[in-house]
A and B are shown apart, each in its own frame.
Chain A
Amino acid sequence: MKKVIMGNHALSFGAMLSRARVISAYPITPQTQVVELLSEMCAEGTLDAKFIKVESEHSAMASCIGASVAGARTFTATSSQGLALMHEMLHWASGGRHPIVMGNINRSMAPGWSIWTDQNDSLSERDTGWMQYYCASNQEVLDTVIQAFKVSEALMIPAMVILDAFALSHTYEVVDVPDQAAVDQYLPPFEPEIRLTPSDPHAFGGLTGPEHYFELRYKLQKDMEKAPALIEETGREYEKIFGRYLGLVDEYQCADADLLFVTSGTAGFTAKVAVDQLRAEGVKAGNLRIKVLRPFPFATIRKIVGRAKKVAVVDRNISYGYHGIFYQEVKAALCGEPKSPPLFGYITGLGGRDIMPESFKEIAGHALARDRADEEIVWIGVKK
């Protein structure tokens, strides 16, 4: 059924249709409506789940871990400062192999106190062992929650479904909300092989010496490496039932692109508009939106980016003292490739400053006028 819903409610409907059994969360702008709607569903009985109210995000994630160990499909959502407060527990969730799915609304880290979007909150958690999906539409948010549970539970690795503050979280779009029966067919109940149960008692997360810890981390990486193929496979399966493919990246006019934008999140949607406008002006532009950052889809990105003439990576984030984080990742993917195109790195839109089609035109003007970047970071839209 088609509904006009905000991005936050797309997360809620995704969790509802996935039949999450435990939801534990602490409200934070701009995430609040995600869990507000889920708590209403639990109260009304439209969702058969336990809603746990907690005093902090650290406790929210801790109780999600407990519920997941007990074998419950578990969902939560947070943003920015809340995600940062969860940091320790994020390692517990991935290291303990608990396939929790969490919505994170990209909101800039304070100070200056901000509720507007950029990606530094989730990118600060890049190396925690969680999968990260960056979404560009409310439809993609809803669909990805369902797929994320399927992939996470197969690999026993938790996942973040990430969307931009306000640009998606509070923006209403038409979303095709799938039938429950069809989702049930796609996503069977969570049946972990090992769970916390009195009939088969185990100690979880105990002291692990140097003779075993290394192997646990090796296994986490090996399972993470299975994720790109599994995401594509479950994405095709999703397409068969629901008509929408869910892949690692979103390609738009990439095949013959002289100038390829590499983007993520809603900026990747705006980039398509800019690509159309640039093509109308005779510039063969293309857009590769990276949807899955962890696991990093090396092979796919190497293939698509490698054949472009020039590449402009657009980051709504920064690793202070180095560069935009997607830029680093793309650069690393191309390192050692015999014929890699010139790469340009742009930082824009920090703290929720709008990224407009004009921003991409400015980027195109800069990249097309040069054979290589004469400065490492090119800032777009900053008042220098």
Chain B
Amino acid sequence: MKDKKAKKIVFKSAEEMPAMVISIGSQTHNLTGAWRNIRPEIDLAKCLKCGICWKFCPEPSIDVVDEWPVVDYDYCKGCGICAEECPAKCIAMVEERK
């Protein structure tokens, strides 16, 4: 699981930085879910546990927990690919209320 409480990495000098661009941790603080206008809501009563939403999510913001899909709203951008691909049509794209 993602550690959402990770401390933001800020190097004080070039000296202490790696030359390669590695594990700078920017995605632990850049929560792209804030970009979302519509959110996927899964009706688990109709879910077939097929895993297609998990496989198609380009982010990837759908985890499978105990065989059931769980959306990670910190990173889901609301693209709707999961809803489009779901064979049981159990994912609704619902407008975000700000």
CB distance from A8 to the nearest CB of B (A): 32
- Please tell me if the beta carbons of B17 and A212 are within 8 angstroms of each other in the complex: yes
Q: A97-B20, A216-B21 are in contact. List 13 more A-B contacts (CB 8 A).
A: A156-B19, A194-B22, A204-B21, A205-B21, A206-B22, A207-B30, A209-B26, A212-B11, A212-B24, A215-B11, A215-B14, A216-B17, A216-B19
Q: Is the CB of B27 within 8 A of A206?
A: yes
B-contacting residues, A170-195, CB 8 Å: 194
CB within 8 Å of A: which residues of B? Answer: 10-11, 13-14, 17-24, 26-27, 30
Are B23 and A203 touching (Cβ within 8 A)?
Answer: yes
| Chain B residues within an 8 Å CB radius of A113 | none
Q: Are B20 and A208 in contact (CB under 8 A)?
A: no
Q: Is B18 within 8 A of A194, CB to CB?
A: yes
Q: Please state if B20 and A206 are interface contacts (CB–CB under 8 Å).
A: no
> CA separation between A97 and B17, bound complex, in Å?
13
* Contact yes or no, A219 B14, CB < 8 A: yes
Query: Using Cβ atoms and an 8 Å threshold, which residues of chain A touch B19?
Result: 97, 156, 216, 219-220, 223
- Residues on A facing B (Cβ under 8 Å): 95-97, 156, 194, 202-209, 211-212, 215-216, 218-220, 222-223
Closest 3 pairs (CB-CB, A-B): A215-B14, A207-B26, A202-B23
A-B contact count (CB 8 A): 53
Q: Contact: A208 with B14, CB < 8 Å?
A: no
In the complex, A219 Cα to B23 Cα: how many Å? Answer: 17
- CB-nearest residue of chain A relative to B13? A215
25 contacts between A and B (CB under 8 A): A96-B20, A96-B21, A194-B18, A202-B22, A205-B21, A206-B24, A206-B27, A207-B26, A207-B27, A207-B30, A208-B24, A209-B26, A212-B11, A212-B24, A215-B11, A215-B13, A215-B14, A216-B17, A216-B19, A216-B21, A219-B14, A219-B19, A220-B19, A222-B14, A223-B19
B17 lies within 8 A of A215 (CB): yes
Least CB distance from A98 to B in Å reads 8
Shortest Cβ distance from A131 into chain B, in angstroms?
A: 15
User: Which B residues are CB-close (under 8 A) to A219?
Assistant: 14, 17, 19
Shortest beta-carbon distance, B34 to chain A, in Å?
A: 15
CB pair B20 A156 closer than 8 Å: yes
Query: Does B22 contact A208, Cβ atoms closer than 8 Å?
Result: no
Known contacts A96-B20, A156-B19: does B26 contact A218 (CB below 8 Å)?
A: no
Q: Are A208 and B17 in contact (CB under 8 A)?
A: no
